Amino acid sequence: MRYLVTGGAGFIGSHVALTLLDAGHDVVILDNLSTGHRKAIPSGAQFEHIDLVDSSAVDRLVAQGPWDAVLHFAAISLVGASMAEPYHYLRQNTLTSLNLIDACTKYGVKRFVFSSTAALFGGVDRLPPIPDNALVDPGSPYGESKFFVERALLWADRIHGMKHACLRYFNAAGSDISGRLGEDHRPETHLIPLAIDAMLGRRPPLKLFGHDYPTPDGTCIRDYIHVADLADAHISVIDQICDRSVTYNLGNGKGYSNLEIIQSVERVSGRSVPWEWAARREGDPSVLTADFSRIHQETGWQPKINDIDTIVGSALRWRENHPNGYSD
Ligand code: UDP
């Protein structure tokens, strides 16, 4: 099979590309390297240095099909930045996706897998776990931009028959178990890599945002899914969308509080994480956990890495071996 992967130099895209290559498929990666890393592109993938804003370049690449599926990860994805620059986020993520979707329908792509997000559910606190059919109410322009793309894909199906899977990820974490890839966001805003770097003394003490949420220990609860499990889910859904489109929540189903994540980093490393309380971060819902029963029932997929220490341990190993991330 031959797949086009946008954003394949980023954290999740590179892990999915690696999984496809490991399974013996041909992979072409499109990335503008604005936040991705050239060194994250798995060997064996063909790389096209293209910006999705450039509709002519996108058109030329998509025309070089046939593609068994297009997997779309490329996006700007900082929730906080999207609150500061809402129209930049809305414009960038929707325009780039529309350029891609337009080209895909023009050249007869039949299957499209979209990297969506639990940020679609960030606008109101609700009872966890969140089912696949929960009311969408994005908590940020970032979440809204992803929802817009989901809606565009609905029309690509109705008008052109291009089937899609919209995968709403909860908190992607960890790294390739065999150590080939890792997580290197710049700036880094995610709890697990920040806690690891604070423990390693490579950052100032971690700031823990908020202590008075309505949770057992007062800190937010999130659902961490190992990036290899996410990658497996993509392979599962490609077979699923031959004749219908689907939307699935992708998580582990279990929630860990921010304090429990710090404890996990301390258990796995045997060292303490320096941290201090800080004010709540705008837009953080208190609890986000996934009900992933629909993808499980319909494809058989379920997360294999259920243990938070294994997830944290894989992230820690890569960081220890790559103190400067992909700059090493
Ligand atoms: N968090 C924190 N300090 C940080 C980064 C994150 O306390 O420096 C908290 C954040 O407020 C949230 C949780 O960790 O409650 C997970 O945040 P992350 O950015 O990793 O993922 P999100 O759930 O926002 O997608």
Looking at ligand 1, which atom is closest to the CA of residue 278?
7
Catalytic residues: 142
- Closest Cα to atom 18, ligand 1: which residue? 190
Which residues is 49 bridged to in the sheet? 31
ipTM reported for the complex surpasses 0.95: yes
Q: Which atom of ligand 1 is nearest to the CA of 219?
A: 15
Residue 285: predicted pLDDT: 86
Domains and CATH numbers, the chain: 2-173+224-250 (3.40.50.720), 191-222+254-327 (3.90.25.10)
* pLDDT for 298: 96
pLDDT at 307 (0 to 100): 95
pLDDT at 328: 76
Task: Determine phi and psi for 28, rounding to 5 degrees.
Answer: -110, 125
Half-sphere exposure of 259 (CA within 13 A, CB side): 11
Pocket test for ligand 1, best of 209, 215, 224 (most atoms within 8 A of CB): 209
Average pLDDT by stretches of 10, the chain with 328 residues: 98 98 98 97 98 98 98 95 95 98 98 96 79 91 97 98 97 96 95 98 96 96 97 95 97 96 98 98 88 96 96 97 92
Q: Beginning with the edge strand found earlier in the chain, give each strand of the sheet holding 111-117 in spatial order.
A: 46-49, 26-31, 2-6, 69-72, 111-117, 163-169, 246-250
Taking CA atoms only, the protein residue closest to ligand 1 atom 1 is: 191
pLDDT for residue 185: 95
Residues with CB under 6 A from ligand 1: 79, 171, 189-191, 194, 206-209, 220, 222, 258, 281, 284
Residue with CA at minimum distance from ligand 1 atom 16: 191
